[in-house]
Amino acid sequence: MEFYVDNEIKFTDETPPYEWQWNEFAIGWHEIKVVAYKNERTAEDEMDVMVFIW
């Protein structure tokens, strides 16, 4: 599972449960996207979020 913020890869997790903790400074609207791979198939989802991380 790949985790992206604003189309920049932030973390890759290969072991379930797939998770990532956003722990860097961010304020404002951002797009979070995840991409999953299994065999030769991919699936992805994205969401716009308002973030206030100090």
- Phi, psi dihedral angles at 18 (to 5 degrees): -75, 120
Which residues on adjacent β-strands are paired with residue 46?
A: 33
Check: pTM over 0.75? Answer yes or no: yes
Q: Where are the domains of the chain?
A: 2-53
The CA-atom distances, in angstroms, between 49 and each of 5, 25, 42 are: 10, 14, 23
Positive or negative torsion for Cα 21, 25, 27, 32: negative
Tens-place pLDDT, residues 1-38: 999 999 999 999 999 999 999 988 889 999 999 999 99
Q: Cα(51)–Cα(42) distance, rounded to whole angstroms?
A: 27
Q: Cα(9)–Cα(16) distance, rounded to whole angstroms?
A: 19
